[in-house]
Amino acid sequence: MKPVEIETNVYWVGALDWNVRDFHGYTTNKGTTYNAYLAVDEKIALFDTVKEPFRSELIQKIFQIIGSRQVDYIIVNHVEPDHSGSLPAIMEILKPKKILCTFMGKKKLLEHYHREDWPYEEVKHGQTISLGRKTVQFIETRMLHWPDSMFSYLVEDRLLISSDAFGQHWCTSERYDDEVDQSELMKHSAKYYANILLLYSPLVKKLLETVTKMGLDINMIAPDHGLIWRGHPSKIIQAYDAWSNQKPKQKALVIYDTMWRSTEKMARAIGEGLTEEKIHVRLLDLKNNHRSDIMTEVLDAGALFFGSATLNNGMLPSMADMLHYVRGLRPQNKIGAAFGSYGWSGEAVPLINQAMEEMKMKIVDPGMKIKHFPAQKDLETCQEMGRKIGKTLKE
């Protein structure tokens, strides 16, 4: 794909990865993009690079735009290898005068590439540099989502180059938000937030407050993954504000795995009880739903039920994996309950309860264990559990 001029003399020079299907445990069923941007003025600045296998595409796009001119600055907003992997090759070929990054950015670049000889220059929050007619202002965004992270704001263009914030793992031939289906765009954006940034929600809130106080006039947001927000930049800012507040809806997820369908029958009965209380319910079998897709549903859910049969004095491996994943992302403002079947020991339910306690979820039912196959009275008790938690969600 050719370079795309997104503002006057500012170009998208990134790469499309149609085939990637996993991003360290997050399913990317529609690929992703590695966005890099080139600002051409009296001085030339490259904002981030691309994943190493796509370096030739990046280099070709840059030369197509600047010919024999020299790149003055490489601005490293984020050191993660999907954005800096091409940097060693770029340094050898383009020989920029400076690498601009945060203090932690320099530290991370040294830890990744071990090149003391590169021309590093540390920049601070609020600092500006002039490219000529264009001014770049730096906004440090530490731990969104790495210690090195920062934004770059092109003042005259009102363009925010936002690193890993406001992105999506979604590969398309289109480059802008207003060129694609809006419901799918927001679905990918929510999945990205739920699986990458949810843990840092308090910092997202502070960042939005900082941007407001700085009075930045934002006409376009250019993230490092996915579509550029040209048509509706306020839409994704408002979504991040809502997601960072983690205000739950009247929505419940019944997440489970089963051996001989006993736990599945319990899950369905719990779902029936929730439905009777007019709660939006989703039953999510771990055999058929990936953890990262479930996490997207967790983003706005108010109640989480976790169900597992007991295996080898523990829970099923799929449930252990799911709980470990959820724990790492630390969702807030959830209530929960555990359920499951067993043959002779029944440890799964107390272990799930322990995991929910560690996540600081409010456990509103001690949990339900059923030996072997549930009788009708057991299913009625499961329905009552659903009704009880449905009522609690509406309080």
Q: Is the peptide bond before 280 cis (omega within 30 degrees of 0)?
A: no
Annotated catalytic residue, options 48, 80, 224, 365 = 80
- Among candidate residues 218, 79, 86, the one with its CA nearest the CA of residue 142: 79
Annotated catalytic residue, options 83, 169, 188, 225 = 225
Is 24 an annotated catalytic residue? yes
Annotated catalytic residue, options 145, 193, 240, 297 = 145
Annotated catalytic residue, options 17, 78, 169, 256 = 78
**Scanning the structure block, which residue is given the tokens 């491996």?**
317
Q: Are 267 and 254 in contact (CB under 8 A)?
A: yes
Is 83 an annotated catalytic residue? no
Annotated catalytic residue, options 82, 177, 257, 264 = 82
Tokens for 274, please give them: 């929730």
Q: What is the C-alpha R_g of the chain?
A: 24
102-108 LR contacts (CB < 8 Å, sep 24+):
102/138, 102/140, 102/142, 102/148, 102/149, 102/150, 104/142, 104/146, 104/147, 104/148, 105/76, 105/78, 105/79, 105/148, 105/150, 107/147, 107/148, 108/79, 108/146, 108/147, 108/148
Q: Are 152 and 102 in contact (CB under 8 A)?
A: no
The number of residues in the chain equals: 395
Is 225 an annotated catalytic residue? yes
Is 145 an annotated catalytic residue? yes
Annotated catalytic residue, options 17, 57, 148, 164 = 164
C-alpha 127: how far from chain center? 28
* Strand, coil or helix: 7: strand
Q: Just list the catalytic residues.
A: 24, 78, 80, 82, 145, 164, 192, 225
